[in-house]
Structure 1
Amino acid sequence: MSGLNFEEQALLAPVERAPILTHTLDWAAINSGTANLDGLAAMATRLADAFAALPGEVRLVDPAPVEKVDSQGRTREVVHGRHLVLSVRPEAERRVILTGHMDTVYPLDHPFQICDWLDANTLHGPGTADMKGGLAVMLAGLAAYERGDPTLGYDVLVNSDEETGSLSSAPLIADLARGKLAALTYEPALPGGQMARARPGSGNYAVVIHGRSAHAGRNPEDGRNALLAASDLALRLAAMRRPGLSVNPAKIEGGAPNNTVPDLAVLHFNMRPATPERAAEAQAHITAAVAQVSAAHEVHLHVHGHVSRPPKAITDKTEALYGLVSKAAADLGQPMSWKDTGGVCDGNNIAACGVPVLDTMGVLGGSIHSPDEYLLADSLDARARLTALVLHRLDRHGVLPT
């Protein structure tokens, strides 16, 4: 850490792994799958108590309404947990935002519920990397930064629905991100500690197809087969794939007994455009494909969904932020690189607000979204120091271009 001056060394010296690990273990022991409202409420309470150690106001914000298409083609409201917000020095002229999520992909009945050590440095457990460890790193980094006569203001947002697309927190993300100098998001690092650079956008869709039922033996010609129309549309959507655009028809719901022409089907698909232009092209193709299938099968189709995570582009400000972070990492003996990746996260939403964001500031680990998920414990204090140093240098030097 020879690249640190005396002030920075004093700032980072008190950072210790043990309390960060304690928080990680405590929070990973709480099942907070996105649909587990009781678990999310318990997690929000623990986080509120922990983040109250920082100056500022902690509040829990109600989720925005979200609707989902069910297997019968009907829209129904999906209930989400509340989101945690901490605001520190809201009057400051220069402010940043730090974000993370309290939800995991493991439901209450999932067999993966406890942590254990694979070796002295490898903690295996649900949400350890994605992102209970990242939240603990964020808190420890902010606590260290607060010891250094800080002047930056910041908002912390920990939402409850990131793993399902942040639909109930998207308005809150946009409101808090607007006008910020920079953003740090605590998704786990890529393998080897790499940072995520550009990301594609993502949209989830459901197409409800209404046909006409008829007897499959007596008068099938009078029917209009919704399942067949859904399959035709799925093939047309899959044919849209090209460089910069991924389309994944994922599930068809519906059907009828073997002796009945099915009159209802629901096709679910995901679309990932690399650029806004690709997103616009894809939307035009979807509209055309729906019209073609409607005419060919004489069925009615209704499309639900949109690109809820815009593509994350790299700007001069993003390059400058990465330069600051990579220099800080090198000075801490944590050299890093960054590369484009296929995943999406809240960093997409923040970048769409014109704010430069690095969205893999969390722990090192791997096998996320699986029963093999793990984190590397030595990244806990290392990444907390990186957070504190990045905020301190943003505060002291403000290197981002205007």
Structure 2
Amino acid sequence: MADIATEKKITQYIDQSLEQSKTTLEKTVNINSGTMNFDGVKKVGAIYQSEFDAMGFDTQWVDGAEFNRAGHLVASYGNTGPKILMIGHLDTVFAKDDAFQTYRPVDETHIAGPGITDMKGGDVIIIAALQALKALELLDKVSIKVVMTGDEESSGRPLSLSKKALIDAAVWADIALGFEDADGDIKTAVVARRGSIGWQLDVAGKPAHSSQIFTDSIGYGAIFETARILNTFREELAGVGNITFNPGLIAGGTEVEVQAEKSMVQGFGKTNVVAKEVTVKGGIRTLTQAELTKAKRVMQDIVSNNLAHTSATLTFAEGYPPMAPTEQNYALLKMYSDVSESLGYGPIAPVNPRNAGAADISFAADHVDMAIDGLGLMGDGGHTKDEVADMATFAQNIHKAAVLIYRLSEEGTPKQGTPKQGTPK
């Protein structure tokens, strides 16, 4: 069973090593690792890899050439006890030529920097927690696998290759812990994330002089048919469960050109010509696979009920699966909350899934018994030039992660509810 005196030693070790952890954070924040800056992603990965190597982990760099990304860092330790997957990512949304490039103290407790909360702070929390447990010889009753991906912010394709290392680790694991910053509130953690996939609507009409629109021989044209489809999507699905969908890009007219690599569609037409083509690109988010299945069915039914002399095709892209809320996830959250309370930090509540975007843990959640996310460095302004970390949360979340793993090693997994859904172990 877990021992209070041992937990005190864990937190003391972390506090004594905190300045070194901050140095590692500063060093890696100051390296640009925008997803497509492969050299920068690899440099950040190499720094973290050296930290794992020093702890005696088996480490591997998974090359990303097959899916047009830098690659991933995988580090493994142990072969007994609960199998825990710890998830981070090396890349940021800030390109190599972005003006936002450096680690900069704002005041005594806040530091600005590209990717400091999303999620180099979380990566360093993983490393610091494991360093404490290894130094105190507390990793012998647990098996750890760390996967830090190089393409979380812009996934390589196909996903079957770019997410293989992560999914393989999840199939191996019992528990997944994600170290994103979630909603930026240290009093919350994530038990559910909505999945996110893209869709494209292509509509065709019968071109003619605009004076003939609405006639039996010409019909309504592509733009009216598109308007009907999008509005019916709204009428049928807005407010249903946790489903949201967004048509974010549209072009129509006599000709439409799609430039997928630039996320661009362009249309040419005239006001006195009935529109021949429309293309709409959008996204859809759902909390469960059942919601996604329902949304796809409703949308396809709407698309197939065409106005006269029009046709339409709706296609769905690969994307992030949902991380559904399960009894097991809530049981793990309770254990994490108990750790937080015992350390004097107060209880942890679940994040509203509407406030938690898609993340790498979604690819792992269906393959493990239980999962939670949002254990990283908290702050504000993620994905913007106003990204600022609240460093008052840094040591707290290292403490909580390390003590949680220690308790799992001593007590095993928390009491489980209904069997997990997904690939059987």
1:333–1:121 Cα change, 3 Å: same
1:314 partner letter: T
1:110–1:258 Cα change, 3 Å: farther
2:369 partner letter: V
1:351–1:12 Cα change, 3 Å: same
The residue that corresponds to 1:69 in the other structure is: none
CA distance in 2, matches of 1:5, 1:331: 9
CA distance in 1, matches of 2:77, 2:309: 58
Query: Mean alpha-carbon deviation: is it higher for 219-228 or for 134-143?
Result: 219-228
The residue that corresponds to 1:72 in the other structure is: none
The residue that corresponds to 1:127 in the other structure is: 115
Does structure 1 residue 382 correspond to structure 2 residue 396? yes
Q: By how many angstroms is 1:125 displaced?
A: 1.4
The residue that corresponds to 1:76 in the other structure is: none
Contact 1:44–1:82 under 8 Å retained in 2? no
Does structure 1 residue 18 correspond to structure 2 residue 16? no
Does structure 1 residue 310 correspond to structure 2 residue 322? yes
- Pick from 280, 298, 309: which aligns with 2:310? 298
TM-score when scaled to structure 1? 0.85
CA distance in 1, matches of 2:174, 2:302: 42
Unaligned segments of structure 2, at least 5 residues: 251-264, 417-425
The residue that corresponds to 2:422 in the other structure is: none
1:223–1:46 Cα change, 3 Å: farther
1:10 partner letter: K
**Counterpart mapping for 1:138-217 below 5 A:** 138-149=126-137, 150-151=139-140, 152-164=142-154, 167=159, 169-207=162-200, 209=202, 211=204, 214=207
**Counterpart mapping for 1:236-255 below 5 A:** 236-239=232-235, 240-244=237-241, 245-252=243-250, 253-255=265-267
Q: By how many angstroms is 1:186 displaced?
A: 0.5
Unaligned segments of structure 1, at least 5 residues: 67-78
1:210–1:286 Cα change, 3 Å: closer
Pairwise CA RMSD: 2.8
1:98 partner letter: M
Question: What percentage of residue pairs aligned between the two structures are identical?
Answer: 22
2:150 partner letter: S
1:153 partner letter: S
Query: Mean alpha-carbon deviation: is it higher for 300-309 or for 106-115?
Result: 300-309
CA distance in 2, matches of 1:40, 1:393: 33
CA distance in 2, matches of 1:64, 1:224: 47
The residue that corresponds to 1:395 in the other structure is: 409
The CA deviation string for residues 244-303 of structure 1, in whole angstroms up to 9 with x for no partner, is: 21111111223114376665543221212233322221111121122124x655235251
SS of residue paired to 2:283: strand
The residue that corresponds to 1:363 in the other structure is: 377
Q: By how many angstroms is 1:140 displaced?
A: 0.5
CA distance in 2, matches of 1:189, 1:176: 22
CA distance in 1, matches of 2:178, 2:286: 22
SS of residue paired to 1:106: coil
Contact 2:337–2:347 under 8 Å retained in 1? yes
The residue that corresponds to 2:30 in the other structure is: 29
Does structure 1 residue 288 correspond to structure 2 residue 301? yes
SS of residue paired to 2:240: coil
Contact 2:205–2:309 under 8 Å retained in 1? no
CA distance in 2, matches of 1:134, 1:399: 23
SS of residue paired to 2:135: helix
Contact 2:333–2:348 under 8 Å retained in 1? no
Does structure 1 residue 81 correspond to structure 2 residue 79? no
- Pick from 331, 341, 356: which aligns with 1:330? 341
The residue that corresponds to 1:137 in the other structure is: 125
CA distance in 1, matches of 2:338, 2:155: 32
SS of residue paired to 1:59: strand
1:271–1:124 Cα change, 3 Å: same
Query: Mean alpha-carbon deviation: is it higher for 248-257 or for 207-216?
Result: 207-216
CA distance in 2, matches of 1:349, 1:138: 19
Does structure 1 residue 266 correspond to structure 2 residue 279? yes
CA distance in 1, matches of 2:89, 2:186: 20
TM-score when scaled to structure 2? 0.81
SS of residue paired to 1:178: helix
2:74 partner letter: V
1:116 partner letter: R
The CA deviation string for residues 92-128 of structure 1, in whole angstroms up to 9 with x for no partner, is: 3531100011121222333322222221110011111
Contact 1:209–1:226 under 8 Å retained in 2? no
Contact 1:134–1:363 under 8 Å retained in 2? yes
CA distance in 2, matches of 1:119, 1:104: 23
Query: Mean alpha-carbon deviation: is it higher for 121-130 or for 299-308?
Result: 299-308
- Pick from 99, 102, 105: which aligns with 1:111? 99
The residue that corresponds to 2:40 in the other structure is: 39
Q: By how many angstroms is 1:318 displaced?
A: 1.9
Contact 1:23–1:136 under 8 Å retained in 2? yes
CA distance in 2, matches of 1:29, 1:133: 12
Q: By how many angstroms is 1:182 displaced?
A: 1.5
CA distance in 2, matches of 1:217, 1:320: 62
CA distance in 2, matches of 1:96, 1:325: 14
Contact 2:90–2:148 under 8 Å retained in 1? yes
